[in-house]
Each structure stands twice: as C-alpha cells, then as structure tokens.
Amino acid sequence: MEKTFMKQRFFIPFLLLIGTLLVACGSTSSANAGTTGSPTSGATQTAPSHFKVSDVVMVGATWKAVVNSVTTNTGENYNTPTKGIYVIVDITLTNISNKEQNISSFINFKMKGSDGTAYNEAFTSGLTGVSPAPDGKVETGGLSKGDFVYDIPVAVKSLVFSFSPDAFASGQTIWDLNL
C-alpha cells in the first residue's frame, strides 16, 4: 500500500510536467506578431518590430489593437503614485476571429522601461477619467476598451508596452511610448 501511494505521488506531477512541456514546445506559431493596417483600406503590410500610438495593428487573425493615447496623471486624494507619476495607456481591442476570445490585463499585457525595468499595473480605483483595463470574454466582432495605469518614476520618459494574446505561443505586439 505504501509503495503504491509513493508511486502515485510522483507519477501525477511527472505527467503534468511532461504535458506542460509538450504544449509549450509544440507551439511554434508566430501568429501573435503584429502587422499594421490602414483602417480605411483594410490592407496589411509587413510589421515593423515596434508600433507607435494610434497605429492600427493586426495581431494574427485574432485581434485588431490600437493604443489610442498615453497620458500622465499625478493622482488625486488617496490615489497618489508611490514612484512618481501614473502613466495611463488607453487601448481598444477588436476580436476579428470567428470565435469568442479571452483577454486578461494581468497575463496578456506588460510594461517596461527602455532600460528593461518591468512595471506592474497600479491598483487605483476612482481615478477621474480612468476606465478599467480590458478583461474577460470578447465575442466575435466585439470590442474591449479600457485604460492601463502604471506607477512610473518621473525620470522615465521612454516605455515599451506589449501585448501577448497567447501565453504559450511566441510573438508579441510592441508599442514604443514616449512621455
């Protein structure tokens, strides 16, 4: 009885590890790489490695993404940044696929300084003019719009904002943000 329990205790985690490795290694898609497109013509072109604010970016065959604006805010009342200033990224995502998609502000989006320093999304509530970040299910053809708020040191003037719609596939869409 003791030997059977010990075998099961190590066998199940081993299977989970092997399964995770197979899923991670089996995907070689670069479907997350973005391409720019003209919103009026619908044409796409080969993607530059980085995009700028207001570029319409086709992310694979799943999303159309636009960083609408980047603003700063010094906070108000009890919502004050601890590092210096809030940077607010307003984004709109459109599900262009033929099935429902999930979006997570925590998993799919990252912010870094140009020096590689990672910044986490700030937890603010009630900051005037700020909408919640995109999260949840998005139906075919549906929109998800919202604001990402990051607490950034005032000295940082150049940021890199990235969107990776699939945590297990290679590729990401990157915007260069200048304050």
Cα 102 to Cα 146: distance, rounded to the nearest angstrom: 15
In the chain, domain spans:
29-178
Closest by Cα among 14, 63, 67 to 34? 63
Give 85-134 pLDDT, tens digit per residue: 999 999 999 999 999 999 999 999 999 999 999 999 998 877 888 999 99
Give 33-67 pLDDT, tens digit per residue: 565 554 433 444 444 479 999 999 999 999 999 99
Protein fold of 29-178: Immunoglobulin-like (2.60.40)
Q: Is the pLDDT of residue 174 over 90?
A: yes
Average pLDDT over the chain, rounded to an integer: 81
Predicted local confidence at residue 124, as pLDDT:
85
What is the length of the chain? 179
Give 85's strand partners. Answer: 152
Counting runs of H as helices and runs of E as strands, what totals does the chain give?
2, 11
Predicted local confidence at residue 31, as pLDDT:
47
